[in-house]
C-alpha cells in the first residue's frame, strides 16, 4: 500500500517523463495535461520539479579533508551509497545529495561508525558535524558553531537536529 507522498512522487516522476517527450499522441497529451493541472501550483512555485531528478539542484556539502581526524572511509561509503565520486575542491571535497534528508541520513550513518567530519552546504546554510566519538549534530552554521562552544544551550532531537533551549526564567515572584 502506498502513502499519499508515494503517489505524489510517482505522479511527478511520470509528469517529468511525459514532459521530456518530444512528441505526444492524444492519449499521452491528455495524461500529461491531467498531471500538469493537478500539480500546477507546485510547478509554478518550483519549476525544477519538471527537470529530471538528477538535474535538480543537488545540495553540495563541502568537507575539509585535511582537518584533523577526518576519516577517508566516508568518501568510499559515499561512492558506494550514491554511485557518485566526490568532487575535488580547493579545500577538500564536495559530496552532492538530492536533498537535506538524504545528507543527514548519510552523515548520521557515518557518525554511528565513529567517523569525524565537519561538512557544510552553503546553499542551504546547513552544517553537519561529528566529533568521531558518537556526537552527531546538524543545523545552521551559526547553531552548530554555538553548540560546539556551549552544548548545554541546545536540545537535540533523535536526528541530531539542534534547537536552542528556552532560557530559564531568572525572574522570581515575590511573596504577597
Q: What is the pLDDT of residue 120?
A: 94
Cell of 100: 537535506
pLDDT tens, N- to C-terminus, the chain (176 residues): 567 777 887 888 888 888 878 788 899 899 989 988 998 888 887 777 777 655 555 789 999 877 776 778 999 999 998 888 898 888 889 999 888 989 999 999 999 999 999 999 998 899 999 988 888 999 999 999 999 999 998 888 888 888 887 765 554 555 55
CA angle 73, 74, 79 (to 5 degrees): 100
Contact 66, 72 (CB under 8 A): no
Contact 130, 116 (CB under 8 A): yes
Torsion sign, CA atoms 149, 104, 112, 74: negative
Q: What is the pLDDT of residue 72?
A: 81
**Residue 127: is it exposed, middle or buried by C-beta count within 10 angstroms (0-12/13-18/19+)?**
buried
Alpha carbon distance 155, 151 (integer Å): 8
Torsion sign, CA atoms 46, 52, 57, 63: positive
Q: What is the pLDDT of residue 15?
A: 83
pTM over 0.75: no
Amino acid at each position: 500500500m502506498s502513502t499519499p507522498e508515494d503517489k505524489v512522487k510517482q505522479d511527478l516522476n511520470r509528469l517529468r517523463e511525459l514532459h521530456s517527450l518530444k512528441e505526444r499522441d492524444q492519449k499521452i497529451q491528455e495524461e500529461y495535461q491531467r498531471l500538469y493541472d493537478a500539480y500546477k501550483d507546485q510547478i509554478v512555485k518550483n519549476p525544477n520539479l519538471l527537470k529530471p531528478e538528477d538535474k535538480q539542484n543537488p545540495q553540495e556539502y563541502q568537507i575539509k579533508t585535511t582537518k584533523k581526524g577526518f576519516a577517508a572511509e566516508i568518501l568510499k561509503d559515499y561512492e558506494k551509497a550514491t554511485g557518485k565520486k566526490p568532487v575535488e575542491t580547493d579545500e577538500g571535497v564536495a559530496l552532492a545529495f538530492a536533498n537535506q534528508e538524504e545528507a543527514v541520513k548519510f552523515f548520521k550513518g557515518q557518525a554511528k561508525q565513529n567517523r569525524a567530519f565537519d561538512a557544510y552546504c552553503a546553499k542551504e546554510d546547513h552544517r553537519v558535524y561529528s566529533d568521531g566519538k558518537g556526537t552527531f549534530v546538524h543545523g545552521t552554521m551559526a547553531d552548530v558553531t554555538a553548540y560546539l562552544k556551549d552544548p548545554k544551550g541546545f536540545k537535540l532531537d533523535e536526528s541530531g537536529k539542534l534547537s536552542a533551549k528556552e532560557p530559564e526564567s531568572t525572574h522570581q515572584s515575590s511573596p504577597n
